Amino acid sequence: MLTLELTDQTGAVTQAEWQAAAAEAAPVLARAQAGEERYADSLGWLDPTLWGGQDWAGRAAALAQQLRGFADTFVVIGVGGSNNAARTVVEALDLPGGMRIVWAGNTLSPHAMNRMLAQLEGRSPVIDCIAKNFETLEPGASFRVLRRWLTDRYGKQEAARRILCTGTPGSSLEKLAKEQGYTFLPFPEPIGGRFTALSPVHLMPMAAAGADVAALCRGAEKMAAALRRQPADENPALQYAALRYLLWQKGYRAELLSCFEPRMKGLFKWWEQLFAESEGKDGRGLLPVTGEFSEQLHSLGQFIQDGTHILFETFLNVKEQQASLSLAPDGVEDGFGYLDDKDFEDLNRAAFAATRTAHSATLPCVTLTIDRVDEENLGGLFYFFQFACYLSAELLGVNPFDQPGVEAYKGWMFRALGKPGA
Ligand code: PA5
């Protein structure tokens, strides 16, 4: 199970203050556990069996198996909440036997688009256009290019067999899918993009990649059962949210999520989106930033240790050793004899312990430990962060489920491109 630990040599925050903040936040937890009426149209994720769970996991796995019968590559066309969760799983896990996943719909760069298309040469692809309302430009434009690519190569009928659309029932994407004979999957109406990690939106590409989506859903269900029942003093999501709010009140303006496993790079993007879009509004919120260690200790590390005091740090720590590589000596005197016969795991753990000791001298540090990196733990982690983010935004006094700032840029872009009615 997931645990949290505070390490702070600066005295900025004490255990007692943290506990008091969590106790004060208990009514917010109680409201969230009950399911708030005012957010009813955004809380479809709160019970992960409603729009996910074993039923949807089974359906996604079955469709993935069917697609693998004639295709070897699955193109995910989606941006933000329609991309990041599946990407987290694909980048974190070694998934032999699954389809190759290609990412599209998250850029408007012709260079990047051409690179993406080049990845399809010599492959047998299917595509999945994931878009809640099918108005976002990046997936819309990419879908057009990829549809045409498939039709040119296979003809209209075979192309249709290779096209999936994931959208809300009643949306223009569903209409288009029906007209063209594409497979249509539901994007749950009562879930905003960044909260869809455990829904069909992401279970489909995860299953196509070969992930055990049943285990992922199991992990989420266990986490949900715990967080929706635990009282404030035992509830890690409430404790994390309360600590974030306490530190925000004390003047901290950014949270750095860092990890010594580069495979968690996809999770970083997902986490950044979840917290930035949910909390960054009304002049409030912590800027979510991420540190891929140990590489970025050699860049960000200077600022973290010694720069403006706006940051606190959350280390994502993995308890179990899942890989091993020995540093056996090769007889060459290279000045690294002190590493003889150590394992890279020893080095990575030493780097983590040293970094936490060093950083906690100048900024508050939290360690969030999960057991291992696998489907079940990732499912639990998705739910943990979604629930904690909801609580955290509530404490901050902002609506967790809208993103008016993102809409503003879209308006300017649509007008510049001459979209009717923009
Ligand atoms: O979390 C959100 O709601 C957003 O980040 C969306 O996921 C993102 O903008 C993509 O939207 P859509 O699926 O409608 O294209």
In tens, the pLDDT along 8-38 reads 999 999 999 999 999 999 999 999 999 899 9
Nearest CA to ligand 1 atom 9: 80
Instruction: Return the ligand 1 atom nearest residue 130 CA.
Output: 13
Specify the residue for token string 């080049």.
118
- In the reported structure, the alpha carbon of residue 189 is separated from the centroid of ligand 1 by a whole-number distance in angstroms of 12
Nearest to 273 by CA among 112, 100, 5, 78: 78
User: Is the pLDDT at 406 greater than 90, yes or no?
Assistant: no
User: Which residue intervals of 99-253 are DSSP H helices?
Assistant: 110-118, 137-154, 156-161, 172-180, 200-209, 213-227, 236-249
Pocket of ligand 1 (CB under 6 A): 79-82, 131-133, 136, 139, 192-194, 277, 403
Residue 317's SS3 state is strand
- For a pocket test of ligand 1, which of 194, 382, 390 has the largest count of ligand atoms closer than 8 A to its C-beta? 194
For the residues 384-411, what does the mean pLDDT come to? 95
- In the reported structure, the alpha carbon of residue 307 is separated from the centroid of ligand 1 by a whole-number distance in angstroms of 34
Lowest mean pLDDT, pick from 141-150, 249-258, 406-415: 406-415
In this prediction, residue 211 carries a pLDDT of 98
Indicate the pLDDT class of residue 408, thresholds 50, 70 and 90.
confident
Task: Name every residue whose Cβ is closer than 8 Å to that of residue 136 and which is 6 or more positions away in sequence.
Answer: 79, 410
pTM: 0.97
For the residues 187-205, what does the mean pLDDT come to? 97
226 to 195, 223, 383: CA distances (angstroms): 18, 5, 11
- In the reported structure, the alpha carbon of residue 134 is separated from the centroid of ligand 1 by a whole-number distance in angstroms of 9
- Torsion (CA) 265, 271, 273, 277 in degrees, nearest 10: -160
114-130 core/surface letters (b: 16 or more CB in 10 A; e: else): eebbeebeeeebbbbbb
User: Is the pLDDT at 150 greater than 90, yes or no?
Assistant: yes
Instruction: Return the ligand 1 atom nearest residue 187 CA.
Output: 13
Instruction: Return the ligand 1 atom nearest residue 192 CA.
Output: 3
- Average pLDDT taken over every residue of the chain: 97
- In the reported structure, the alpha carbon of residue 107 is separated from the centroid of ligand 1 by a whole-number distance in angstroms of 14
Nearest CA to ligand 1 atom 14: 132
For the residues 84-97, what does the mean pLDDT come to? 97
Instruction: Return the ligand 1 atom nearest residue 195 CA.
Output: 1
Helix (H) or strand (E) holding 61: helix 53-68
In this prediction, residue 409 carries a pLDDT of 87
- In the reported structure, the alpha carbon of residue 99 is separated from the centroid of ligand 1 by a whole-number distance in angstroms of 25
User: Is the pLDDT at 1 greater than 90, yes or no?
Assistant: no
Answer for the pair 126, 162: CB distance below 8 angstroms, yes or no: yes
Catalytic residue annotation: 277, 298, 410
What domains appear along the chain, each with residue ranges and CATH number?
Answer: 3-36+228-324+344-402 (3.40.50.10490), 53-214 (3.40.50.10490)
In tens, the pLDDT along 234-274 reads 999 999 999 999 999 999 999 999 999 999 999 999 999 99
Indicate the pLDDT class of residue 127, thresholds 50, 70 and 90.
very high
Helix (H) or strand (E) holding 92: helix 84-92
